[in-house]
Amino acid sequence: MTIRPLRGAVRSRGTSKEFIIASTPGPGRKPRPSTDPGPFRSRSLAPIGWIIAAVFAAVGVLVYVMAPDYRPVKVRGEPVADAPIPPPPAPPPPPVVAKPEPENPADVLGTARDFKAIFDRYRDSTNPVERALAGRAHRACFPTFLPPQGKAPSPTYAINALSSHQHDARKAALQELFARCKSFLVQPLDAADIVATAERVTNGNLASAGSAARWAMIRGDRAAADATVEQALRSREPYAIQSLSGLSLLMMNASAKGAQPEVTDAALALLACDLGASCGPNSLLSLQLCAAEGRCQGSARDRMLERIGPVDMEAVERERKRLRALVDSGNATITSVWRYPR
């Protein structure tokens, strides 16, 4: 039998020709269909199958998400059968109420309404501790309320210089201090006299014990510094002892093995309230800490604790009790406070 290409069964591929062989239809035989995919028919149905599967999956997810949830809703706190009933919550601890600090009427400076009267009373005293009270009264008013040249005294100048931090509370503190300083501010003001007195308060016969001791050390007169500190410790005067806070690093020696300098400094500052200084919210100490530093909450003791910053408060409390016992017994000296081998 001769095989010959059927008519129209030739396909070109490049320069070559490919023949499709088909049997000649005979009686009772149907022609075999051609396997040629043609120019527009895909060679595989796999991509269409994947597309159809993805469409059905997306529809299924959409139906699941949008279908209403008929499951019963469990209410929080709904009792569960056979579940133990939890005990009631413990009551909150009672709020800690700070012990109010009394306004000590015996403190001639802390509760004074007229600082000029305190200054006039003690500025010529032969007792350096009393002169230091006069200097402290003067320092409460100047240079804070020294007005610009040619202007009338007013708290406005100091208030206008305040930052936004605790502004209203600091404004009220400055106004209260100004009221206590008003007798100092009678016109005409002698600016030269005010400045000269301020120098005596800082480094002169009106200086506090702590300030006088520092300046003596700067001059190299250690004996004078020690004598000033010893006199302040013996005096039991609260402001004199408080002024020694900050001297611990200078007063200790290598053989001292007790509290850290910052602990002793903190205890000396707090000791003023124990020894009779007015430490209530309207005391001189409280007003000055608020006006100058923005520490306006609580008593003076609370504000000094805030000022101390990060320090071991348990160690400070132990040191405060130790120093109080030394002062009460009359045994507070440089050696017992700072230089004894602990």
- What are the pLDDT digits (tens) for 42-68? 455 556 666 776 766 666 666 565 655
Q: Are 77 and 252 in contact (CB under 8 A)?
A: no
Q: Is residue 5 part of a domain?
A: no
The C-alpha atoms of residue 47 and residue 45 are separated, in whole angstroms, by 6
Find the angle CA(71)-CA(72)-CA(77) to the nearest 5 degrees.
Answer: 140
Give yes or no for residue 135 having a pLDDT over 50.
yes
Residue 19's DSSP bridge partners are 10
Which pLDDT belongs to residue 97? 46
Q: Is residue 326 part of a domain?
A: yes
Using CA atoms of 186, 189, 195, 197 in order, give the dihedral in degrees to the nearest 10: -50
Q: Is residue 140 part of a domain?
A: yes
Comparing C-alpha atoms, which of 159, 148, 150, 144 is closest to residue 201?
Answer: 144
Q: Is residue 323 part of a domain?
A: yes
pLDDT, greater one: 203 or 179: 179
The C-alpha atoms of residue 230 and residue 252 are separated, in whole angstroms, by 14
Per the document, the length of the chain is 342
Q: Is residue 286 part of a domain?
A: yes
CA 240 to centroid of chain Cα atoms: 30
Comparing C-alpha atoms, which of 122, 148, 275 is closest to residue 201?
Answer: 122
**How much is the pTM?**
0.66
Q: Is residue 245 part of a domain?
A: yes
Q: Which residues contact 155 (CB under 8 A, 6 or more apart)?
A: 145, 174, 175, 177, 178
pLDDT, greater one: 239 or 32: 239
Give yes or no for residue 131 having a pLDDT over 90.
yes
Q: How many domains does the chain have?
A: 1
Which pLDDT belongs to residue 40? 43
Give yes or no for residue 205 having a pLDDT over 80.
yes
Q: What Å distances lie between residue 207 and 135, 137, 202, CA to CA?
A: 6, 11, 5
Q: Is residue 51 part of a domain?
A: no
Mean of pLDDT values over 71-90: 58
Give yes or no for residue 82 having a pLDDT over 60.
no
Q: Are 128 and 205 in contact (CB under 8 A)?
A: yes
Give yes or no for residue 332 having a pLDDT over 80.
yes
| Structural domain for 151, as ranges | 115-339
Residue 18's DSSP bridge partners are 11
Highest mean pLDDT among 13-22, 64-73, 239-248: 239-248
Q: Is residue 215 part of a domain?
A: yes
